[in-house]
Structure 1
Amino acid sequence: MSITLAGECMVTRPFSVHSEPDFVQVLDRLRSAELTYAHVETNFGHFSEVAAPARGDQVGSYFLTDPQVATDLRQAGVDIVSLANNHSVDFGAAGISSTVRHCDAAGMAHAGTGRDLEEAREPAYLETRQGRVALVSVSSGNKSHEWASQPKAGLPGRAGVNPLRPEMRFLVEQEAAEQLKRIGSALGILRETKAGAEGSSGLLMHAEQGEFSLAMANDQSTTGSNLWRQSDHFEILSSSNKWDFSGNLRSVAEAATMADLVLVAHHFSVSEGPRGNQPPRFVREFAHACIDEGADIFIGHGWHKTLGIEIYRGKPIVYGLGNFFAQSEFVRRVPYDAYETWGHDIERLSTLTPAAHPLHPGLDQGSETWWSSAVLDLELDGGELQSIRLNPVELGRPVGRKAVRRPVGHGERPLTDGRPFTAYGEDAEAILDRYKRLSADFGTSMVIEGETGVIKV
């Protein structure tokens, strides 16, 4: 079976009208595979279908895309998509419903969101000539109102994403721990295990003996996001919420029982400190557990960066697919919240338009990874991985440079087309060298053959 993996589709413009050879070549690669997967990081819907924006203070784009784009993706060869990500609930339950509806209408199987947790967590199934395919889609980094929930006592479940909630522990040396406690005590925000201080409100619900938390003013009505532990070194340890972890492994086990090929897609927008070049500890633990439970391919994304490839028990773990479309600059209608968050004068709201800058994170910068990635072709024989071929693509800018190769518009700050074209020369070399270097950290050997990379198992 030939399987093609495409990355994060922040796609906001219909694209079937385009016919440039280097663009068509990429789409033909998707069409030629027996199974093509992509991650959809937008909502499909008409403005009349969705409710008010469901989030306020997040520094990011609000994605709502013409449903025609779902049809374009299907015509480009995309068979199955993951929908769970940190933008899934941009437009509330109505946005989730419209996205699902338009994926169904386009003929793309999908997983990761739903009217309640059971629906969001269940595998998607796709019948192919080579066998039955299943996909489980998971998201880490969403806020609490975005997590799908179960119905209870006649109350309906909450629509949302299938979550894998991370828990972060901050290890600090003794002197630093004492200083943190002193500061926290002086400010009245120190919470220690079993202290029972007023205002804790669950901050220590996940704490182990000896751990403490700082009850930041905006966190005092939540289960908190910081647990501190005295140690002999500095480190951030990430782990998964135990209920999310076990619940998602049950979905993987179900898929392994009921399908011939199981994909798990994990969108993680959180990190242990800066978004570096290595996946968080909790992501790697989850990936290994999914393979142990019966998954055949693990697909990571969320940092908008390409990360290394690990072969674990003969199965591929792709920790970061990177961007396949990057078109957040072309969102047609931007909500009030985005203008306020990005510092625009909201007293002049009626004069502000989606052409204002800034409204989206980091798009006017040169980036080693935002404007490039690779389409991965996997070959399986009898369910066993034989090879992975990496085909580099660029999205409208030379890799790592601020220059715009395919500009759009006539403004002082050119917008970037954001569609994937075949990468050549220095661009292809930079993309493949990064994959080769980061995959070597996992013991994976990649050979560069011309302007493609090859991993043989």
Structure 2
Amino acid sequence: MGKHLYEHDNHLVQPSGCYDTVGSTETNIADGFTMVAVGDLIVTRPLTKGRDLGFGTVVELLRDADVTFGNMETNLFDIRSFSGSPQAEYGGAYHISLPELGPDLKLMGFNLLSRANNHSFDWGVEGMRETSRVLDQNGIIHSGVGENLAQASAPHFLETPRGRVALVSFASTFTPMSRAADPAGEASGRAGVNALRLTRSVVVTSDMLESLRQIRNELPGFKLCQDDSDHIVLAGTIYKAGEKASYSYEANPRDVTDVLLNVRRGKQFSDFCIATNHGHEPGNWSQEPANYEQSFAHRLIDAGADAYVAHGPHQLRGIEIYKDRPIFYSLGNFVMDDLRTPVGADMFAAYGKDPRIHTDAEVTVSEMATGYETAPALSDPVFYEGMITVTRFERNRLAELRLHPIELGHSRRFANRGIPVLASRQQAKGILERVQKLSKPFGTQIAIENDVGIIRL
């Protein structure tokens, strides 16, 4: 409520000439409001009933917050009675866990989850619906998928004692045919994820661009239809001239408009709004965000977001404070427990394995050891390090941000790997120093005290 309101007959009344604008982007939560944010949850079994290898201390951090948020990359259903099937030609692991994970996530403290990512439709529409049903049954608010684009893009709301929280979830990395669409004419809408489409260009030097132009001009079927002095299209890839080889991204204007609109809608009906993106760009190898992301994150906050949380590349990236609001460019992995996820026939073939001879675990280990074409091997220790971030607000302003380094057991045997515990002193120091370095270009100063990173305003 605005400061000009006063009480009259047990109601709040605005004096003449004073009003709160509908489009206000101000934070409006009670003092002491805390948000815990973590990265990707690739979790295939309930964890709170397992052997306590330090996980209990992690859970205490998750529970002690008004909002505990993460990115859900797992589908929830019992495969023995499931009526759906994996998406065609996915070529990877089909992330799945039993419905028992729903109450377990609630027990851990999670009350808000993003759903828009490249695993949301591993098991098609049926998998999406079953997962939504399990989360709904356990009172966990989630956003980012739906029966059409309007549902997938809409903000969803969590009620807390210190204020109402909105979540707008979208994905810049998503699988083919998983993008949600609205009805058009006689065609019904398409269930899917709230997608932020990106056009990628490969930046090369002027000499490289001229060589590529010569190749293109020799190919059959080429016809020059416009001035292409600063760029060319070759075999479906856009090449642009620049100072050095790199990747450049441009977000789809319509998708940008839709996301910004829903952030504004979310803030108009809440006290605190979180915008979250799942994107692997420019690749899992990169510790820096894609070149479009900083300006877009700023636009999201200008539209009303009180925090921007990104995930997807499976490793940590820098932190920025913009207009007293936190921007996390990647929080890495929180859980990477991929034990029960079945491996599809396409993935067996991709890694030269035979399901009559090899096991799912052997294919998964092979994948982690070799990596993808544009990504390092997922067995690298950097993918087994992450952070639990605790953001506290006072007087509607960011007061303090605490970073608790975690490690996921890179050195453990396969069956025990992927469960987070607080990092040892030496490992915590290494993680925090890396985040210090990655955050420095954004002007963010991080102090290290008792194995915890602290950002104070």
Is TM more than 0.5 here?
yes
- For 2:141 and 2:427, how far apart are their aligned partners in 1? 33
State whether residues 11 and 65 of structure 1, in contact with CA within 8 Å, keep that contact through their aligned partners in structure 2.
yes
Alpha-carbon shift at residue 52 of structure 1 (Å): 2.0
- Structure 1 residue 43: Cα displacement: 1.1
Match of 2:87 in 1: 54
- Structure 1 unaligned spans of 5+: 196-207, 216-223, 398-403, 408-413
Aligned residues: 417
Equivalent position SS for 1:357: helix
Matches of 1:436 and 1:233, distance apart in 2: 26
- Residues 231-242 of structure 1 aligned to structure 2 (within 5 Å): 231=242, 234-242=245-253
Instruction: Measure how far apart 1:304 and its partner are.
Output: 0.3
Q: Which residue does the alignment assign to 1:282? A: 292
Q: Within 1, Cα distance between the matches of 2:445 and 2:231?
A: 41
Other structure's SS at 1:70 match: helix
Contact 2:93/2:342 (<8 A) preserved: no
Residues 335 and 357 from structure 1, CA distance in 2 versus in 1: closer, same or farther, beyond 3 angstroms? closer
| CA deviation string 1:270-302 (max 9, x = no partner) | 31x663211001222221110110100000100
Q: For residue 111 of structure 2, what is the aligned residue in structure 1?
A: 79
Provide closer, same or farther for how the CA distance between residues 275 and 88 of structure 1 changes in structure 2, counting only shifts above 3 A. Answer: same
Q: Deviation above 6 Å: which 4+ runs of structure 1?
A: none
Aligned partner of residue 441 in structure 1, secondary structure: helix
Write the distance in 2 (CA, Å) between the matches of 1:237 and 1:315: 26
Among all aligned residue pairs of Structure 1 and Structure 2, give the percentage whose two residues are the same amino acid: 31
Is the 2:55–2:419 Cα contact (8 Å) retained in structure 1?
yes
Distance 1:365 1:296, change over 3 A: closer
- Are 1:13 and 2:45 counterparts? yes
How big is each residue's C-alpha offset from its partner over 1:328-349, in whole Å with a ceiling of 9 and x where there is no partner? 2x1342222221222224xxx4
In structure 1, C-alpha distance between the alignment counterparts of 2:213 and 2:280, rounded to whole Å = 29
Q: 1:117 to 1:448 in 2, by over 3 A?
A: same
User: What displacement does 1:442 show?
Assistant: 0.8
Tell whether the 8 Å contact from 2:146 to 2:192 is kept in structure 1 after alignment: yes
Give the TM-score normalised by the residue count of structure 2.
Answer: 0.86
- What residue in structure 2 maps to residue 254 of structure 1? 265
Aligned mates of 1:86, 1:191 — CA distance in 2: 36
Check conservation: 2:351, 2:367, Cα contact below 8 A: no
CA contact (8 A) 1:56 1:338 kept: no
2:170 is the alignment partner of 1:160: no
Distance in 1 between residues matched to 2:446 and 2:230, nearest whole Å:
45
Contact 2:209/2:231, CA 8 A, preserved across alignment? no
1:293 aligned partner: 303
1:8 Cα deviation from its structure 2 partner: 0.8
Match of 2:232 in 1: 212
The 8 Å contact of residues 343 and 363 in structure 2, kept in 1 or not, is answered as: no
Q: Which runs of 5+ in 2 are unaligned?
A: 1-32, 370-376
Task: Name 2:397's counterpart in structure 1.
Answer: 384
1:146 corresponds to:
178
Change (3 A) 1:280 1:107: same
Please report how far the alpha carbon of residue 54 of structure 1 lies from its aligned counterpart in structure 2 after TM superposition: 0.9
Matched, 1:394 2:426: no
CA RMSD of aligned residues (A): 2.2
Contact in 2 for aligned 1:116/1:157 (Cα 8 Å) = yes
Alpha-carbon distance, 1:172 to partner: 2.8
Look up the match of 1:266. 277
Equivalent position amino acid for 1:303 in 2 = P
Q: Which residue, 122, 129, 154 being the options, matches 1:97?
A: 129
Match of 1:202 in 2: none
1:162: how far off? Answer: 0.5
Following the alignment from structure 1 to structure 2, what is the Cα–Cα distance between the partners of residues 193 and 52? 44
1:186 is aligned with what amino acid? Answer: E
- The 2-side partners of 1:189 and 1:32 are apart by 63
Matched residue, 1:307: 317
